Chains A and B, each alone.
Chain A
Amino acid sequence: MVNKKGYILQKLQVKQIFYIFFIIIVALSFSVSFTQSVHREVKTSELEQKIAVYRLFSSDDCLGSSGVINIGKFYDENLENCFDVPDNERVGVELKLSGLDGVEIGVSEINKWMVAQKVTCGMKGSFYDCFSTRKYVLIEDGGEIKQGILDILVVTDVK
């Protein structure tokens, strides 16, 4: 019905709809701003992976000194001890040491349960994230220095 009164009512409704949208936009803006400031966080899994690799190389107790791997220290118990993973820190490291010709010298794992989760890395919806890198290393074996390759795989929780 289009009489004068009805026309005014329709205009009022249009205005009310406009204000409802306006209030929704303002409320959304404030809630987004608030949640951004409260939940602003760094994606820590990648940092943890990098830190794990750094810890292995920087500690003389773990692999050896000055980046030279002492083959006598390359076993699970020693690496577990030097890495000292706290119970609440969900990180696993797999280390594969081989010669420059590719022949495997040894494999060691820190936190085997976490390393076992590597099969899920890259899967959609996986709770684990993997980082792999390869370092050229020198290996000290019985006073002799050899050239080698250290393949490192770090598995962390997705956070």
Chain B
Amino acid sequence: MLNKRGSLDLAEAFGVFLVFAFLLLIFLVFIIPGVTKDKDEEIAVKEALYAKENIFVLNNYLNTPVEVGDVSDLINLFLVDSSYEDKLVSVTNNLFSAVYGDCYYLDLGNLEFGSGNNGKSICIPYPGKDDLIQICLDISEYEEKGVEKCL
């Protein structure tokens, strides 16, 4: 209703404000958290599957035959004798460069290979000489760019 000056009553304006505030509250409390929760769950499942896939790659890398047995034997030797570093670096570089070009990142204790570190590394624990070390692999850059741009 109009007041004597022909404008909205204060009570009416306040009522309109309350309805808007109520709608905003519904949106903030129910709609946005629901949508982001679903998105978070989708990302979590994808990351879990991505981790499983790449653990296979890391296992294959560790089981790759080399002169001294397999790569895990070579890592064991490197951990007690740093003279094996060159051999380990050579084997790892040759192998991953052939498969992923430069679109990968492998972190092996203090040794790092490749430049494709997107912060999406999948790590597995590896028993080191002093403490537990981790082997981490990130091939997400390869999956983004593909074979044409990486090799």
Contact = CB atoms under 8 A, between A and B. Distances in A.
Given A100-B98, A138-B64, A42 B42 contact: yes
Interface stretch (A80-88, A110-118, A129-137): A129-137
A7 B6 contact: yes
A24 interface: no
A73 interface: no
B89 interface: no
A7 B99 CA distance: 80
A138 to B, nearest CB: 5
Residue among B6, B95, B142, B146 with max Cβ neighbours from chain A (10 Å): B6
Interface residues of A, number: 40
B31 interface: yes
Contacts of B65: 145
Contact of B142 (A8, A11, A37, A134): A134
Interface of B: 2, 6-8, 16, 19, 23, 26-27, 30-31, 34-35, 38, 41-42, 45-46, 49-50, 52-53, 56-57, 59-61, 63-65, 95-96, 98-100, 139, 142-143, 146-147
